[in-house]
Amino acid sequence: MNRKTLIIGLLIVMGMFMTLLDTTIVDIVIPHMMSAFDAKTEDVQWVIIAYMIASAVSMPVVGWLGGKIGHRNTYILGISLFTTMSALCGIAPNLQSMILGRVIQGVGEGLAVPMALTLLFEIFPPDKKGLAMGMYAIGAAFGPSLGPTIGGYLTEHMDWRWVFYVNVIPGILVVYFLTLLLENVKEEEHDDLFDITGFSLLSISLTTLLIALSKGNSWGWHSEKVVLLFYTSIITAVAFVYVELKVKSPLINLKLFKYDFFTYSSISRVLFGMGLYASYFMLPLYLERLRGFSTIDAGEILFFPAFLTGIVSLITGVLIDKKLISLKTAIISGILIFIYGTHLQSRLDLVMGKTQIILLLLPWGIGMGIFFPALAQVALADFKGEMLRQSSALQNLLRLVGGSIGTSLATFILTSTKDGHSVNMTERISSAAPQITDYMAKVKAYLYYFRSTPLPLLEAKAKAILGFLFLKNAFWISFRDVFFFATVCGILSIIPAIFIKPKEEKSEEGSSSTADDSVTVNG
């Protein structure tokens, strides 16, 4: 492998990192958007939902588009759309234009991220594919984890619109240098018509599913709107499968699932992703809302496991390339360490220091770093051409859907168990009346002697403090329930992983020639 190939790989990862950064960086500026656009929370949330839906809907198109215009051009188109819309979102005068910009930005991400995986798998030689998947895992881990930190810094020291402007220069550099360094090679013949029926059905199914998952907690899971959305998603999904099995040139070739290694790795990815995103969604809430850490401090805490994920991903990739660890061993080891990490998260309490929290999160990061590069290589290893593109798109789509389900279930668990824990705590407190009376007396003494609280207000203020502590503890127990759910998802993901039987490379020479037919490095 020459230096130019490595530079191209880094450019591809850089572009992917930018798009995935936007999945979390915008969360930080939602309050600022509400003020700037004079909008309600439920309206501004569509800035995030629209991006997610557009990304999901556009991912399956990669298989057809990559064959039509070439892999490099598809990736550059995605990054160009994303970069252009980043600039326009930064100057958006109202909420409507912001949402429209985010939709097109999401389309860019939906094209770029799956194609990044495809390109990395193609341009690296057979004995370096583990390294390529490790590099991919770095972008996938760093992007979402650094979003809150970078977003908080830009908002605090510059302006909230810089969360969009920050993408522009890196995006231009990625497009320019990839155009210069990487030759675009198209398939000789690609006259298949676009599967508009399948695309329409899948778009409706994904859109209704993601809206239902995003709005279920606020609208009510049993509300007519949410139930109708779920029914629509299921019906259109069934219709999509029927159409894809009949049509000559399907949007997604469902024959991918006849390969056991692809099917089992896909199921494992969804279950693992549910647990990952459940804990990933809860950790910033725990750090900022329950513990009172600033956005910057919370970002610093989450940076360390993400950084470790990146380092371990590279090491795992190299070990796989050198045949020092098998793909299946890496996958199962990664899941087991991840399970241990989510179990440790259930030990997070209300007084633990910053360093202790970081140390507790490190196994979580290590598990991800081992799991992702190995699973990606298993899912892609036996495919070439259009099947490779479709496999990449499906793996990323499953990541997004699994993450959405995990996040929604985590939110449901957090909100639905809080009241029950509050009741249980009240009952326990009633049985411990002497201790509570003694605690109330100490609180009153503190308020009177150190806060100069007037005597008539002591009782009310002491009860308010006690009530706040009860509520905080109830939330803390609910957070532990979510981390337990993440652990269960990790345990379940082992079951399909056990049945994964990675395909062996046919021959180093054959694989190398296939890769060379797909992508060429200029120079």
Segments forming the whole domain that contains residue 214: 195-250
Nearest in space to 399 (alpha carbons), one of 370, 375, 378, 383: 375
Average pLDDT taken over every residue of the chain: 84
Q: Which two tokens stand for residue 309?
A: 């994920």
Q: Same domain for 15 and 151?
A: yes
| Residue 54: other Cβ atoms inside 10 A | 21
Q: Which two tokens stand for residue 38?
A: 């004079």
| Residue 254: other Cβ atoms inside 10 A | 14
CB within 8 Å of 281: residues ≥ 6 apart: 406, 407, 410, 411
DSSP H helices in 91-223: 95-123, 129-157, 162-165, 168-181, 196-219
Say how far apart CA 151 and CA 283 lie, in whole Å. 17
CB within 8 Å of 82: residues ≥ 6 apart: 18, 19, 22, 105, 108, 109, 112, 167, 171
Per-residue pLDDT at 193 exceeds 70: yes
Q: Identify whether 133 is part of a domain.
A: yes
Q: Tell me, what amino acid is at 74?
A: T
More confident residue, 310 or 334: 334
> From the centroid of its chain, how far is CA 433?
46
Q: Same domain for 22 and 156?
A: yes
Query: Which band of pLDDT confidence, cut at 50, 70 and 90, is reported for residue 511?
Result: very low
Q: Which of 250, 268, 288 is the last residue of a domain?
A: 250
Q: Same domain for 399 and 385?
A: yes
What are φ and ψ of residue 249, in 5° steps? -120, 85
Per-residue pLDDT at 508 exceeds 50: no
More confident residue, 467 or 286: 286
pTM over 0.85: no
Nearest in space to 323 (alpha carbons), one of 505, 141, 499: 505
1-44 pLDDT tens trace: 688 899 999 999 999 999 988 888 887 788 888 888 888 877 88
Q: Which of 211, 234, 250 is the last residue of a domain?
A: 250
Across residues 491-504, what is the average pLDDT?
86
Q: Which of 223, 250, 277 is the last residue of a domain?
A: 250
395-428 pLDDT tens trace: 888 888 888 888 888 888 887 776 666 666 655 5
Nearest in space to 357 (alpha carbons), one of 307, 302, 295: 302
Per-residue pLDDT at 442 exceeds 80: no
Q: Identify whether 448 is part of a domain.
A: no
Q: Identify whether 464 is part of a domain.
A: no
Say how far apart CA 213 and CA 207 lie, in whole Å. 10
The number of residues in the chain equals 523
Q: Same domain for 296 and 362?
A: yes
What are φ and ψ of residue 92, in 5° steps? -55, 125
Q: Identify whether 514 is part of a domain.
A: yes
| Residue 388: other Cβ atoms inside 10 A | 23
DSSP 289-357: IIS---HHHHHHHHHHHHHHHHHHHHHHHHHHHTTSS-HHHHHHHHHHHHHHHHHHHTT--SS--HHHH
- Say if residues 324 and 130 touch (Cβ distance below 8 Å): no
Q: What is the 3-state secondary structure (H, E, C) of 49-83?
A: HHHHHHHHHHHHHHHHHHHHHCHHHHHHHHHHHHH
Q: Same domain for 226 and 304?
A: no
What are φ and ψ of residue 451, in 5° steps? -120, 0
Per-residue pLDDT at 470 exceeds 80: no
Per-residue pLDDT at 337 exceeds 90: yes
Q: For residue 229, what is the enclosing H or E element? A: helix 224-246
57-115 pLDDT tens trace: 999 999 889 888 899 999 999 999 999 999 999 999 999 999 999 999 999 999 999 99
Q: Identify whether 317 is part of a domain.
A: yes
Q: Same domain for 199 and 178?
A: no
Q: Same domain for 177 and 264?
A: yes
239-250 pLDDT tens trace: 999 999 988 888
Per-residue pLDDT at 433 exceeds 60: no
Q: Same domain for 113 and 246?
A: no
Q: How many domains does the chain have?
A: 2
Measured CA to CA in angstroms, residue 485 lies from 277, 286, 421, 479, 490 at distances of 11, 16, 16, 10, 9
Query: Which band of pLDDT confidence, cut at 50, 70 and 90, is reported for residue 510?
Result: very low
Per-residue pLDDT at 272 exceeds 50: yes
Q: Same domain for 358 and 403?
A: yes
Say how far apart CA 386 and CA 394 lie, in whole Å. 12
Q: Same domain for 67 and 154?
A: yes
Strand partners, 182: 521
CATH of the domain at 391: 1.20.1250.20
Say how far apart CA 191 and CA 247 lie, in whole Å. 15
Nearest in space to 297 (alpha carbons), one of 351, 358, 365: 358
Per-residue pLDDT at 434 exceeds 70: no
- Say if residues 415 and 285 touch (Cβ distance below 8 Å): no
Q: Same domain for 246 and 264?
A: no
Q: Same domain for 177 and 126?
A: yes
Per-residue pLDDT at 372 exceeds 70: yes
**Upper half-sphere CA count for residue 464 (Cβ side, 13 Å):** 6
Per-residue pLDDT at 514 exceeds 50: no
| Residue 393: other Cβ atoms inside 10 A | 28
Across residues 204-221, what is the average pLDDT?
89
Q: Tell me, what amino acid is at 174?
A: V
More confident residue, 520 or 102: 102
Q: Identify whether 237 is part of a domain.
A: yes
Q: Identify whether 268 is part of a domain.
A: yes
Q: Identify whether 427 is part of a domain.
A: no
